[in-house]
A and B are shown apart, each in its own frame.
Chain A
């Protein structure tokens, strides 16, 4: 316990000191900046947290560099952004009935009727308090669960088991995200195949490049991911905006304000909904690939079923807003459980946390992070310590700081941003495209990045139109190099046994579980 406490203290101290021991306020400033920008992004239709994380990552790397000292300010900004965007998403949903994301649609069910009754400010207060409660609950679950899970995994899993675990995660994502698990798995494998272009482990020259010299170093990772995740969505948004002529829907006149005081009695009224939704959202968030929409749906549904007045849901009651906002916000912290303990991202925001960690400093995510190595001072050598664990606790500290800022300042910022919700998507989306193209060109230094982002944008658009989830594609693309290392390493270590994955009982269990999950999900879909 003493050792754990020492690592926690060193993690907290790491946030406020540089590697040379000088006081460092930058991570704190970046958390606050990220949170504020995140709330603004969330409140703006057409923008979302992962998009802002994708665009800000290259800028942050330019500003802070890639040294170990750069990692915490960059992660602080991204964590603040992630949390802020979750809170800000309620603004357009409540005030203008325009959900920026699918999960925010459920917030409109009671949030917008409250605004229509003149209780918009109160609805925003309910959304804010529910959102930060859910988020804080979820972070607590992360702090307690990730180390335990990681220690368990590290002690049990070797190369074949880790390879099988990645296959299991991909199968699970394919099964739960989208209506055709086999197609989801297919695009996941396709993403893995594309990620292998260029680089080789043996150094025998580039592979699968069609002779294009620019692909010798592989496809630019962030351009490809930005293309599928963000640009594909921009294509879709522009098409829909062109079809619906959204800009012609002028803002409706504001209703007269009613009672907008949020009292202790109001909090007591919505607290059971916040608690139940936080538990539901955290449980959903810990499983890779499911996402906030299901959490919000289940949270709202549970609140309605257990209410004494279910008929009032949908007419503009605080319980409805609290149930959805607590559920979708509690997904974000729990989503980092598979990231921190396994190095496997479960959602789009987690993808950018992993990208940041891989691009900056020596820190890597995975079960080894939570190895509680005994801290020893050796004269003439230095300190023996698991530095990754110190960084992990520093990350947790940044999350706590972001939560404190969110509790204290988030609500004020959120309630002052109603005007942003009026920015039409028809202007916002083409502008987003221009910024994206500029950023990827500047980051990767050439038109190759623009072509990659446009081609992957087209892939993202096509998959969405074909009703195939893009999440397995992105996760497959990201995890492919690691899976190749594990499979090749496992094969060599087994002495060339082609059945090495089936010889380990745990790996075999993971593979059987993968097949069963896809089988039952396919049966259900058919």
Chain B
């Protein structure tokens, strides 16, 4: 998969073909399966006066049809003329190293966001189990420190892990920068602005 893509525009590139095939399949699925099941209004509607007007499916079907035509043209060009050479500095494809990056990156983000989501409610649940409070997290979403716990811990862990992974080492400057940004974000979004909630408090 990491093999270099040809720099000439003669051979059809598997990624080029794959892009065209996926778009063609998605557009046909949209017209024949997705839209009929997920759009209540039809392609045309008849008004109470008997006039026929475009319905809610009219424009989406036109766009999906345009997608199908464009992808068919792109596939035809790729087979006949070959794929265009990628721009300088670009491979024109996702390499194994890109997939590895995305996997690690999203794992770190999902873990951080997961902690952000569950930590506050989890701590309050534990306190209730231990008989330390009667309140649920819903009652405490505007009470410090509960409203900050998930955001600060989850946000800190996610961002510092990303910095550490990027730099290959733990640096105090990175930790200080993240803590400063968290403090500023709390001041701006929680203290200065009213009717705004930090994550994850709007969910409860």
Are A180 and B159 in contact, with the CB atoms below 8 A? no
Tell me the complex Cα distance, A239–B165, Å. 10
Q: Which of B151-204 contact A (CB under 8 A)?
A: 151, 155, 158-159, 162-163, 165-168, 171, 173-174, 177-178, 181-182, 185, 188-189, 193, 196-200, 202-203
Are B19 and A466 in contact, with the CB atoms below 8 A? yes
* CB-CB nearest in chain B for A242: B166
Are B19 and A447 in contact, with the CB atoms below 8 A? no
B25 part of interface (Cβ distance < 8 Å): no
Tell me which of A185, A435, A446 contacts B203 (CB under 8 A). A446
| Segment from A14-22, A192-200, A260-268, A275-283 that makes contact with B | A192-200
B109 part of interface (Cβ distance < 8 Å): yes
| Segment from B56-64, B126-134, B141-149 that makes contact with A | B56-64
Contacts of A143 in B (CB 8 A): none
* CB-CB nearest in chain A for B71: A186
Question: For the side of the interface on A, what is the size category?
Answer: 35 or more
A202-B45, A247-B167, A442-B197 in contact; A239/B34 too (CB < 8 A)? no
Tell me the complex Cα distance, A62–B30, Å. 38
Tell me which of B57, B77, B167 contacts A522 (CB under 8 A). B77
Are A447 and B199 in contact, with the CB atoms below 8 A? yes
Contacts of B71 in A (CB 8 A): 186
Are A193 and B166 in contact, with the CB atoms below 8 A? no
Are B105 and A202 in contact, with the CB atoms below 8 A? no
A434 part of interface (Cβ distance < 8 Å): yes
User: How many interface contacts (CB-CB < 8 Å) are there between A and B?
Assistant: 194
Contacts of A211 in B (CB 8 A): 38
Are A182 and B73 in contact, with the CB atoms below 8 A? yes
Question: For the side of the interface on B, what is the size category?
Answer: 35 or more
* CB-CB nearest in chain B for A102: B89
Q: Which of B25-58 contact A (CB under 8 A)?
A: 30, 34-35, 38-41, 45, 51-58
Are B86 and A196 in contact, with the CB atoms below 8 A? no
A376 part of interface (Cβ distance < 8 Å): no
Minimum CB–CB distance for A150 against chain B, Å: 26
| Segment from A74-82, A317-325, A399-407, A488-496 that makes contact with B | A488-496
* CB-CB nearest in chain A for B174: A427
A186-B23, A245-B168, A526-B82 in contact; A435/B181 too (CB < 8 A)? yes
Are A441 and B181 in contact, with the CB atoms below 8 A? no
Tell me the complex Cα distance, A85–B77, Å. 41
* CB-CB nearest in chain B for A444: B202
Are A179 and B85 in contact, with the CB atoms below 8 A? yes
Contacts of B193 in A (CB 8 A): 59, 62-63, 442
Tell me the complex Cα distance, A182–B74, Å. 6
Contacts of B151 in A (CB 8 A): 438
Are A209 and B56 in contact, with the CB atoms below 8 A? no
Contacts of A182 in B (CB 8 A): 70, 73-74, 77
